[in-house]
Amino acid sequence: MNLKRTGAMTLVVIIGTAVFAGPACTVDGIDQYYRQDIEWTDCADPDLAAQCADVTVPLDYSKPRGRTITVAISRIKATDTEGRIGILQTNPGGPGDYGLGMPKDIRAGLAPEVASRYDVIGMDTRGLGRSTPIDCGLKFSIWMRSAGFDRASFDDTLAQSADEAARCQRKYPEVLPFITTRDIARDMDVIRGALGERKTSFFGQSYGTYLGAVYSTMFPDKVDRLVLDSASDPKRYGTEMLQDMGPANEEAVDEFAAWAAVQHSRLGLGQTAAEVREGMQQVIRDAATKPLQVGDETLDEHTVPFVYNAVSSDDRQREQLASTVRALKGLEPPSEWLTGVATYLAHPGLGDITTRSSAQNSLMLAIICGDKVAPRDPEYYWRAVQRARATQPIFGAMHSMASPCAFWAPPRERPLAVGNSLPALILHATRDTRTTYANGLGMYRAMRGSKLVTVPVRTHGIFPYYPNECVAAAVNRYLLDGTLPARDMTCDP
C-alpha cells in the first residue's frame, strides 16, 4: 500500500481467467471491447501533459452484454516513432492512488532514449477518480485507525469499521463485487487490445506490483516487460501485509529517535533515543485524555499514530517528522502539512470526486476487501492488538486492528495463485515501511524469472522518486532492450 502521498492521503460462479485472454475468447460479446475505437483528447488537467480517453469495459466480465462502465486513461505518446517499442501501462499503488498523472512522473525519470520509445499509459482504476467512481459516504478519511488503549475503545473502533463496511454494501451492492484486482487486470488487457497492441509492458509501484503480478499470471502471453517497484508479497497481501507494517514503522521511529537525540539542543525532543520515543508515545496518551488541537481540527489516540505513519516512510522526512512531533507537543506551531492532514482526516467528504478522501478510501476498501477474505472474529483482532503492544507501542494497535474488510461480503472469486516464471525487474528498499523488504522477497520468490535490485535505504516507491543512478540504469536498460541484470544486485545509496 502506498501511503507515501497521504496528507495531501456474494459468492457467485467462479470465472476462469483463461476465458478472458483476448478478443478470441469464448464469452460471447467480449470481443467488442477489444475492438472499440479510442478517442483521444487533451486532458482536462493541463498539468498531466497528456492526452486522455475513456475506455468502455463490462462491469461483470462474465456478462459482457450487461452493464458497462468507463475507465479513464491517459497517454504520453512515443516521439521516436521508428524505434517505438510499444505501450507501458502504469499504476502508482494505493490501491486507490490516482493514476492519470503517473506517465508524466515515469517519463521524467527515464532516459530520453527510453522515454521517447514508449506510449506511457496511466489509468484511474475502475471505481476511482474519473473512472465511474464510487463514494460510500464514509465517516472517516482513513480506515487504518488505532484501536486505542482499552477494550471500550477497541469495541468503538470495531463498530466504526462495521459501519463503514455497511455504508458501502448498502450503497453499491451490485458494484462492489466487481471492483477487484482481477477485474482491473481484465480492464488492463482490454486497454491493451483496444490500443492495438499485441503485448504490453507494465510499471507498478506498491499495490501496483500486486496488480502487475496478477495481470502477468492471468495474461502471461500478453506481457512484454514488467517492472515491480516496492513489491508486496502475494501470499501476504491483505491482513498479513498490514500487520507486517507495524514492526517496520516502529523501526523507523527508533531510527528517528536516535537521530533526534543527537539534535536535542536544536529540537528539544529528548537527550536519548528512549526519551524521544517516550515523548512520542506520551503524545498519543495525552490525545486519548484530551484531543490535540491542530488548526481548526483535533487529533486523538486513533489518528495520531496514522500521522506519525504518514511522515516516517522515507529517511529524508526526519525534519518533517521532528516538526510534527514538536507541534503535537506544543513546542512550535503546526506546519501547513500537519494542518492539512488534520483537515483531511476531519472532512472525508471535502472536495470533488477526484480528491475527497471518502471516495478514495471507498475504492481502497473495495479492492482490498473484494480481493481476499479477512478474519471475521473480533477476538482475533483483540488478541493481535494485545500481542503487538509490547513491541509496537505506537503502531501495534493500528496495524493489527480490524479493518472494514472484517465485515465485508465474501469475494466472488477464489484467491488467485499469483506467480510465474516471466522475466521481471523488482526494485526494493531494505527499510521500506509500507511493503517491507520481506514482502519484496515474497514477490521475488513468486516471480521466478525475476531479478532483484536492492537499495539499502528507507523509502517506498524508489523510481523515480528516490534518485539513484544505479537503479535508473537498471530500469532504463531493461525497458530499452529487455535485458535484466545478470544477477541480483544491490545499489548503494
Task: Tell me the catalytic residues.
Answer: 206, 432, 460
- What secondary structure, in 3-state letters, does the chain show? CCCCCCCCCCCCCCCCHHHHCCCCCCCCCCHHHHCCCCCCEECCCHHHCCEEEEEEEECCCCCCCCCEEEEEEEEECCCCCCCCCEEEEEECCCCCCCCCCHHHHHHHHCCHHHHCCEEEEEECCCCCCCCCCCCCCCCCCCCCCCCCCCHHHHHHHHHHHHHHHHHHHHHCCCCHHHCCHHHHHHHHHHHHHHCCCCCEEEEEECHHHHHHHHHHHHCHHHEEEEEEECCCCCCCCCHHHHHHHHHHHHHHHHHHHHHHHHCHHHHCCCCCHHHHHHHHHHHHHHHHHCCEEECCEEECCCCHHHHHHHCCCCCCCHHHHHHHHHHHCCCCCCCHHHHHHHHHHHCCCCCCCCCCHHHHHHHHHHHHHHHCCCCCCHHHHHHHHHHHHCCCCCCHHHHCCCCHHHHCCCCCCCCCCCCEEEEEEEEEECCCCCCCHHHHHHHHHHEEEEEEEEECCCCCCCCCCCCCHHHHHHHHHHHHHCCCCCCCEECCC
Residue 284 CA, chain-centre distance (Å), reads 26
Gyration radius (Cα) of the chain, Å = 22
